[in-house]
Every structure is written in C-alpha cells, then in structure tokens.
Amino acid sequence: MENILVVLPVEQRHRDKLEAAAPGQRFVYTCGAEPTREQILAADIIIGNVPAGPLAAADRLKWLQLNSAGADAYIKPGVLRPGLILTNASGAYGKAVSEHAFAMTLMLTKKLHLYRDAQRQSRWTDYGTVSSLSDAIVLVVGLGDIGLRYARLTKAMGAYVIGVKRRAGACPEGVDELYTTDALFDLLPRADVIMSILPGSAGTYHMYTAAYFDRMKESAVFINCGRGGVVDGAVLYEALTRGKIAAAGIDVTEPEPLPADSPLWQLDNLLITPHVSGFYHLPETFERIVDIAAENLAIYFAGGTVKNIVDFETGYRH
C-alpha cells in the first residue's frame, strides 16, 4: 500500500475520483493547507505543490505530481533525489492563461489601460492612435498548450502568427510559420506583438536581454505570462522608458510579489497583474488538474508511464 499525500483543496467528489483511480491505497488530505514535514517524509506519492525544502530528505517519495505547469522550484539541483518521477499539470491552464494574455494584448493595443487610469481621475481625454490585431504579426514564444491557444485566439482576429518552440515539427493549425528557439533573435524585428510563455530554467533566465528589446519594433507590445525570470526588471524598465517598445503586459515578475518600491509600478505603458492568470481563478482549471492527477494515478498503478513527465534540464514536459 502506498501513502498518497494530496495537498489540493479537494471536495468529496474529487476525493472519490482520485481514490477510484488508485484503489486500496492510503490517501492523506491536507485540505489545501501546507503539509507538515512529517507528512511529506511519510509520502510515497505527493499530489500538489509542496515546499521544496523537505523534499531532499523524503527518502520514501517516488513521484511528485505538481498542480502547476511550471516546475522551476523543483528542478534545481539537490531539491529532488535522482530517479524520482516529477510530473506537472501542463494542459490544465491553457484556457485561463491564454485568455488572460489575449485580454492583456487587446487592452494594450487599444490603450484601454490608459483610459481606465483617466477614468479614475475623472479625465475626458483622447490617447490617439491604436493598433489592430487583424493586421498584426504575432510572435508566440513557447508553443505548448497555452501558447498554441493564444496563437489561435489571435489568428481568429486576423493576425499572422509565428510560433517558436524548442523542437522542430509540423506547423500546427493556427500558426503560419514555425521556428525553433535559436531563430528568435532574428524574428523579433518582424513582430508587432511578442507573447512569451516560457518556463523558468537555467536556459531561459534573463534571456530577453537589452539586445533583444533593441531588435523589437518601437511599436511592439511585449506580453509575459510564463515566468518573471525570463526578463530582468531593469531591462524591461529601460525598454519601456526609452521607447524601445510601445508597451508591455506582465502577469509574472522577478521577484514575486513585486516590491512596492519597484519603478515598474509607475509606468503608464506597463500593465501588471500579480500572477493571477492561472491558479484556480477559472474553476475549470482546478477540475482539469484533478483529472490529470487521477489519470496519472490510474496509469501509475497499472504499471504504465505517467503523462507530463518533466525534463529536469529544460523545465518542460518531455
């Protein structure tokens, strides 16, 4: 019998689904509260994100199923034992995060953020010209579930979509051109909108350097709903204040929470949301996370290979 620690805020119907997928196993639920060190050390399987600190000493642990798509806190050297299975919840967040990024894009290209600020000050003002997605070139960096959904949303508006991913392959529906990551620097001058949905890893840390922003159009909009660490806040600040790009929308920052004294808060051409595009704000997301965990439990106890296994080198699922 395996000890399965579930740290998600599950209801009884979720418990029934998980336990039906792994009959005869011992389930321990924290009801969404942070688990104790003792609970972590006693677990053979953990479902949900737990504090990384105790995991190195979790000798019994065989498999960690995350409730997040990002795994950057767990792929750092020394956090998990070699050979331990790490899976993420990729596929659960596509609708929520892509729609959030799409809303940011429309808000910035139509300058709605500026009008909202003016409303707060009771000012009737005209902010001039706007741009349209129907004639735009949209560059999506990271063409997983979220990136592809975003690509298709902008494509439906009439945009020409260029996708960038790690490995070459067939160009998916909703994408006009597909390239690998090593082509990104050369693609930047073409884009009216750059949407980044990259995970946090050694390979993506601060990858959007000043040289990258120098390559972008002065009229470009930059969206980041992946990980805040892909761009240094000082570099983004300079790009926005010196007119290297027109505007940016970010749902992620480095660090998080963004300190109250960060100059980024004061920029009129920057839209900030506090890493809320995902989580469980769209209730469907949580249902999908439970479904992924239940499906993987059934596969695991049937002796199969679980889905969404994370590559410790890249932070992506295999």
What tens digit of pLDDT does each residue of 80-105 get? 999 999 999 999 999 999 999 999 99
The yes-or-no verdict on residue 186 having pLDDT over 90 is yes
The yes-or-no verdict on residue 187 having pLDDT over 90 is yes
Q: How many CA atoms lie within 13 A of 22 on its CB side?
A: 26
Is 256 marked active-site?
Answer: yes
Looking at domain 3-92+281-301, its CATH class is alpha beta
Is 26 marked active-site?
Answer: no
**Which one from 177, 275, 287, 295 is the annotated catalytic residue?**
275
C-alpha triplet 189, 193, 196: angle, nearest 5° = 100
What is the model's pLDDT at position 314? 82
Q: Which residue has the higher pLDDT, 316 or 69?
A: 69
Is 227 marked active-site?
Answer: yes
- In the chain, DSSP assigns E strands to 3-6, 26-29, 45-47, 63-65, 85-87, 137-141, 160-165, 177-180, 193-196, 221-224, 247-250, 270-272
In this structure, what DSSP letter does residue 232 have? -
Please name every residue paired with 268 in a beta bridge, in sequence order, or none if there are none. none
What is the model's pLDDT at position 127? 98
**Which one from 11, 34, 238, 256 is the annotated catalytic residue?**
256
Average pLDDT over residues 112-116: 98
What is the model's pLDDT at position 111? 98
The yes-or-no verdict on residue 317 having pLDDT over 90 is no
What is the model's pLDDT at position 318? 77
What is the model's pLDDT at position 313? 85
**Residue among 306, 241, 311, 294 at smallest CA distance from 18:** 294
Annotated domain spans of the chain = 3-92+281-301, 94-272
Q: Check for a shared fold between 3-92+281-301 and 94-272.
A: yes
Instruction: Give the integer Cα–Cα distance in Å for 162 and 145.
Output: 15
CATH of domain 94-272: 3.40.50.720
Contacts with 303 (C-beta within 8 Å, 6 or more apart), sequence order? none
The yes-or-no verdict on residue 218 having pLDDT over 80 is yes
**Residue found under tokens 């798509």:** 69
Let me know: does 260 contact 286? Beta carbons within 8 Å: no
**Which one from 14, 113, 215, 227 is the annotated catalytic residue?**
227
